[in-house]
Structure 1
Amino acid sequence: MSDRYEAVRVRISGKVQGVGFRMWTRDEALRLGLTGWVRNEVDGSVAALVAGPDNAISTMIERLRRGPAGASVSGVETEATRLEKMPTDFRIT
């Protein structure tokens, strides 16, 4: 496992709105020491920016594939991204 810091944009599709997905995502990210944001999208998906150690990001992506109780995740798309400045917290936007 590496201590490199990375940032990944994630789009989660399925039954992911109206089930506490954003709050759950924030809580899981904070447990893993990650920073970034999460938000609902108009198409019914949830988008997130997750930044931190690459091993924690990998763990977070696996957790996003399952989601919280009540969610039904049908897809998770990820895209590595470069940030000029790393976020300092994890926010619901």
Structure 2
Amino acid sequence: MSGNTGSAVRLTAWVQGDVQGVGFRWWTRSRALELGLTGQARNLPDGRVAVTAEGGPAACQQLLGLLRGPGTPGRVTAVAEQWGEPTGAFDGFTEA
């Protein structure tokens, strides 16, 4: 099932903790691609990682659960989320 339907959503998650320099963006990209999502994971100057994902609501919710779960690289202390309409600006899922 494609994430390019009218029911697609955009998830932006800001992940706080020890998440830079530990393979977190690579891990996030791998999980997002497995779920059929497009978007990016990028380091922020304040030490957080910003994850933007577009696709089906269930897949985005599953990615959010993985970001908050115990299997992430590093140590996640908090995840803030924002939901919106997809822009279709991403081709694949990248680490920025």
Cα distance in structure 2, aligned partners of 1:77 and 1:84:
20
- Could you tell me whether the CA contact under 8 Å between 1:36 and 1:90 is conserved in 2? yes
Per the alignment, residue 84 of structure 2 pairs with: 81
1:14-53 → structure 2 map (5 Å cutoff): 14-53=17-56
Give the C-alpha shift of residue 82 in structure 1.
2.6
Provide the identity percentage. 36
**Displacement after TM superposition at 1:21 (Å):** 0.2
Of 68, 71, 82, the residue aligned with 2:72 is 68
Alignment deviations for residues 24-52 of structure 1 (CA, whole Å, 9 cap, x no partner) = 00000000000000100010000011110
| Larger deviation, residues 29-38 vs 79-88 | 79-88
CA displacement at 1:81 relative to structure 2:
2.4
Distance 2:26 2:9 in 1: 22
Q: Distance in 2 between matches of 1:24 and 1:74?
A: 17
Letter in 1 for 2:92: D
Gaps of 5+ in 1: none
Calculate the TM-score normalised by the size of structure 1: 0.88
Q: Runs (4+) of structure 1 moved beyond 6 Å?
A: none
Alpha-carbon separation, structure 2, partners of 1:21 and 1:39: 10
What SS does structure 1 have at the residue aligned with 2:91?
coil
Gaps of 5+ in 2: none
